[in-house]
Structures are given as C-alpha cells and as structure tokens.
Amino acid sequence: MPAHFTPEALKFFRGLARNNDREWFEARRDIFEREVKQPMLAIVGEINEALAEFAPEHVREPRKAVFRIYRDTRFAADKRPYKSHLGAWWVRQGLEKTSGAGFYFHVSAKEVTVAAGAYMPSPEQLLAIRRHIDANTDELRAILAARNLRALMNEWDGDAMKRIPKGFRADSAAADLLMCRKWGVSATLPADAAASPALVSEVVRRFRTAAPLVHFLNEPLKPVRKRIL
C-alpha cells in the first residue's frame, strides 16, 4: 500500500495547535516520531521515485528534504516552539544553498498543501529569472495557461511590486510577470487527504503538471560546472 498518514497524525496536529509547548510535545514525542515523521520520510521516498521520471535533478534524500518541525524563534515575536505543519522541499541539485525553484508539500490539521515554483529567490536569482522571463515571455505564458496545470493548481499571489523593476522597459510584454517577486502555483487539499492511500499519487500528479514551470524558472539559475583542464 502506498505510504500515507493515519488519523493519529491529524489528531497529533490538532493537539499541537491547542498545546504548542515543549511539555506537551515531549510527552508525545513517540507519537510524532511514529505517526508523523516516519510516514513523512516514507512519503518523500515514494515521491522521489516519481520525480526520477520527470524531475530527476530534484530527487533528495528524505531526511534532507523534510523540514524540522521546530520553529526558529530567535528573532520572532511569536515564541511558539513548533510549526503547526510538517513539510518537505525538493530543491534542484546544486541550488540547495540558494533555493531556486522547486517542489513543496506539507500536511497539517487543517489541510494538505502542494506547491511548486520559486518562492524566495535571492536578489541575484530575482534578476536572472526576470531577464529569462523578459526574453521568453510567450513560453512562460504558455506554461501557465496549460489546461492540466490550471485544472490542478492555482497561481500564487506574486507579491507584485507597484512598478516595473529597474532595468526593464515599462512597455515590456512581460511587465505583469516582471513585477512579481515570486512565481509559482499551489493547491490545497482537505486534511483527510493525508490519511488516504491516494496521497502520494495526488501530490505527484500536481508536481508533474507543475514541472515545466519549475524547469523554466531554474533555467537561468542552473549551476555552471567548472571544466577540469
């Protein structure tokens, strides 16, 4: 049977939402490890098998793909120690330290989220992606207009700037896309989808349809291999 979560995982997340403190978590750490973390690692492993077919450069060792559930509260006003969800991120190989575009999935008590794109590109990546979009506008618009993608995913809010970025023409055919600070698509599934044997297939189906967008956004960011003389 394909990997998936059990109702106990969703129960754990509901409890964590009400009791986000170390005492509550530590008393249930064994539940987290058994019902949440281990199934997540198995799910990531199965998703990797599918990614090998259409995005092999994004396959990641499960323990590196899965985010920690602990929040970084050093500079945050919100001091709750744990995230309310557990997620995984498949970045392109060679871009691990700078992010780039990739595939994302998380589960919580409220929902299952599936997303793909460039969510937090660095300033250098922003410029490279914008130049790529400006030179290949029709290609990106065709990707975003694909019937399968529009049926399974929604466009993210691009966190658009108020005016065209410096260095680009205001009358560019890509003006609306160039003003974005991030590019991607996402889908929200009901929380119960996490406990379904169809979970992996539903995530993979959306990753597969979004792969052309991820590949497009990473095209100007691909690591350059140094030649050995």
Work out the burial of residue 229: count CB atoms within 10 Å of its CB; fewer than 13 is exposed, 13-18 middle, 19 or more buried: exposed
Does 146 fall in a domain? yes
Q: What is the structure's pLDDT at 149?
A: 97
Beta strand pairing status for 111-118 and 102-108?
Answer: antiparallel
How many domains are contained in the chain? 1
**Bridge partners, 103 (sequence order):** 90, 116
Q: Does position 2 have pLDDT exceeding 60, yes or no?
A: yes
Structure tokens at 100: 């780039």
CA 49, CA 43: separation in Å to the nearest integer?
Answer: 10
Does 154 fall in a domain? yes
What CATH number does the domain containing 152 carry? 3.30.930
What Cα–Cα distance (Å) separates residue 175 from each residue in 93, 133, 198? 30, 10, 40
Does 105 fall in a domain? yes
Does 21 fall in a domain? yes
Least confident of 1-5, 7-11, 158-162: 158-162
Q: Does position 203 have pLDDT exceeding 80, yes or no?
A: yes
CA 208, CA 23: separation in Å to the nearest integer?
Answer: 41
CA 202, CA 18: separation in Å to the nearest integer?
Answer: 29
Does 138 fall in a domain? yes
pLDDT digits (tens, 9 = 90+) for 78-121: 899 999 999 999 999 999 877 899 999 999 999 999 999 999 89
Does 201 fall in a domain? yes
Judged by DSSP in three states, 176 sits in: helix
Work out the burial of residue 200: count CB atoms within 10 Å of its CB; fewer than 13 is exposed, 13-18 middle, 19 or more buried: buried
Does 226 fall in a domain? no
Q: What is the structure's pLDDT at 228?
A: 47
| Residue percentage of the chain with pLDDT more than 90 | 86
HSE (side-chain half, CA atoms, 13 Å) at 49: 9
CA 34, CA 58: separation in Å to the nearest integer?
Answer: 26
pLDDT digits (tens, 9 = 90+) for 161-201: 999 999 999 999 999 999 999 999 999 999 999 999 999 99
pTM to 2 decimal places: 0.94
CA 57, CA 193: separation in Å to the nearest integer?
Answer: 27
- The boundaries of the domain holding residue 59 are 7-221
